[in-house]
């Protein structure tokens, strides 16, 4: 960054306790953004353009069309993307291991990396396995809650 004249941005992003987690989050967003984009692009392509035309003829602005047509039409994909991205965020390991190893001062120590630390370097196999089991239960519970919420929403809409 210094070589291109951005001295004010040339920080130790991963070594500072205040910027390490946001930096890892930005990396994860960059890595994961393709999946939601593809899903939402596919969802948007199946929305009938005639619905937009009819709404526009009725005097609906862009926000009203978005809220009344687009959002309900892509709701199933929104649930899928929200669920899968939430699960991915809960079990993130690789970027933490590669970028920070849980540091600095454990600010990026997420549950999956904490389980790994206890299981392998510290040889506390039982504790590491317990952490991984609890993390798995959390993922399962979150998944069940999301799926029930989606099913209730679909029943309410009459799908």
Domain count for the chain = 1
Give the tokens for residue 76: 């199933």
CATH, residue 136? 1.10.3720.10
Q: Which residue has the tokens 């454990």?
A: 106
From first to last of the 159 residues of the chain, give the pLDDT tens digit.
Answer: 788 888 888 889 999 999 999 999 999 999 999 999 999 999 999 999 999 999 999 999 999 999 999 999 999 999 999 999 999 998 899 999 999 999 899 999 999 999 999 999 999 999 999 999 999 999 999 999 999 999 998 888 876
Question: Does residue 14 lie within any of the structural domains?
Answer: yes
Question: Does residue 2 lie within any of the structural domains?
Answer: no
- Which structural domain range is residue 99 located in? 7-157
DSSP 67: I
Q: Which of 83, 105, 92, 118 is nearest to 24 (CA)?
A: 92
CB count, 10 Å around CB of 92? Answer: 20
């Amino acid at each position: 960054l210094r070589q291109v004249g951005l001295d004010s941005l040339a920080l130790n992003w991963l070594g500072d306790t205040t910027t390490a987690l946001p930096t890892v989050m930005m990396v994860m967003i960059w890595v994961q953004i393709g999946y939601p984009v593809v899903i939402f692009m596919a969802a948007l392509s199946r929305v009938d353009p005639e619905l937009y035309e009819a709404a526009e003829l009725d005097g609906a602005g862009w926000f009203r069309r978005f809220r009344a047509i687009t959002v309900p039409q892509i709701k199933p994909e929104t649930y899928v993307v929200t669920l899968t991205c939430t699960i991915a965020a809960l079990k993130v390991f690789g970027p933490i291991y590669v970028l920070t190893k849980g540091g600095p001062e454990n600010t990026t120590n997420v549950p999956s990396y904490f389980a790994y630390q206890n299981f392998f370097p510290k040889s506390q196999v039982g504790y590491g396995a317990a952490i991984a089991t609890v993390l798995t239960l959390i993922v399962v519970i979150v998944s069940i809650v999301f799926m029930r919420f989606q099913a209730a929403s679909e029943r309410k809409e009459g799908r």
